Structure 1
């Protein structure tokens, strides 16, 4: 990496780190690109050159924190692997700064089509693909019914979790995750 590209990378990291710090301190609604730029020690044009909006910057900042935490283990036991991965996600989503800022990002996506598209492309779709791929591997091994619709399994699995996290705001606990998995596997097991 050249010194210019290293400096650009360091500046990008500083901006994203500052976004998360300020987001945690002030909340997303009161956050501005100008405040992020000021605290990060860059001009606002430097920020806007990399991100088109506050929502786009927040998405990249959140994903930079935990991109690798979203990968599935493969121990040969699909139920245990799903449980371990979804427990990690539940822990992530209930802890600051990720949880509150992720809620704000989802809200922003309702009003900003570019943020909605980026959220789907960079977070939702890759997570769906990882889950379906893990389920497909399990189905190929005979751990799941060969005729179970894996896209439907993904919807059944994620729907209750997002509903609880975003709508009812009830705690997203390991016990709740286990209840959802138990319900899902009651219909997915080999016949």
Structure 2
């Protein structure tokens, strides 16, 4: 009879250690050299693994970098780790939709202003605009789940009578978050909590019953 054994705990730990080393290397290198000069060979050398190890888990450098971005910014571990995924998260719900939205927007401002993430996030934004496969990955694993979390919180406010019953929640999400991301991406002005608060207050002014 064939002896089918499951990988030992030691092998699993080594595999996860290697995987995290690859993601860390990709994130650091993207910030140092930019996407154009980022390569699977460079990531492998920095992580201390073989190229074949990387290709066993990811089809391209864009996919590696996207997983690295998720690990460092959302805590999502990917396929082998532990922790809370985007789908399992939730926006705060204290009953005060304005306060809750400001809390989330302030956290977004802080993340976008963090120099550890700035170049990598800008790199990913540019590549997503040019790479259809990476765009699909972004939509599936981050954009759509995050949009649903935002709509869920707005829907709760709608059901509580705090927002208009006929409000289009997709449009509401765009009104709240898109100006913030455009200002950051185009460097159109300072990205501050005051600006985010003004966005929330102005947008909600047109959304209330």
Q: Same fold (TM over 0.5)?
A: yes
- Give the Cα–Cα distance (whole angstroms) in 1 for the partners of residues 49 and 190 of structure 2: 38
Q: Using the TM superposition, give the Cα deviation of residue 169 of structure 1 relative to its aligned residue in structure 2, in angstroms.
A: 4.5
- Give the Cα–Cα distance (whole angstroms) in 2 for the partners of residues 169 and 44 of structure 1: 40
Rg (Cα) greater in structure = 2
Check the 8 A contact 2:22/2:47 in 1, yes or no: yes
Q: Using the TM superposition, give the Cα deviation of residue 132 of structure 1 relative to its aligned residue in structure 2, in angstroms.
A: 0.3
Q: Using the TM superposition, give the Cα deviation of residue 92 of structure 1 relative to its aligned residue in structure 2, in angstroms.
A: 0.7
Where is the helix percentage greater, Structure 1 or Structure 2?
A: 1
Check the 8 A contact 2:30/2:119 in 1, yes or no: no
CA offset digits 1:19-39 (Å, max 9, x no partner): 122222223332211111001
User: Could you tell me which residue of structure 2 aligns to residue 62 of structure 1?
Assistant: 69
Q: Using the TM superposition, give the Cα deviation of residue 86 of structure 1 relative to its aligned residue in structure 2, in angstroms.
A: 1.3
2:164 counterpart of 1:157: no
Check the 8 A contact 1:20/1:97 in 2, yes or no: no
* Aligned residue pairs, count: 190
User: Could you tell me which residue of structure 2 aligns to residue 16 of structure 1?
Assistant: 23
Q: Using the TM superposition, give the Cα deviation of residue 83 of structure 1 relative to its aligned residue in structure 2, in angstroms.
A: 0.7
CA offset digits 1:83-136 (Å, max 9, x no partner): 111111111112122222111101111221110001111111111111000000
User: Could you tell me which residue of structure 2 aligns to residue 166 of structure 1?
Assistant: 185
Give 3-state SS (helix, strand or coil) of 1:116's partner: helix
Equivalent of 1:120, from 139, 155, 159? Answer: 139
2:108 counterpart of 1:89: yes
User: Could you tell me which residue of structure 1 aligns to residue 49 of structure 2?
Assistant: 42
Q: CA RMSD in A?
A: 1.8
- Give the Cα–Cα distance (whole angstroms) in 2 for the partners of residues 84 and 99 of structure 1: 21
Structure 1: tracts of 5 or more residues without a match:
none
Normalising to structure 2: TM-score of the pair? 0.84
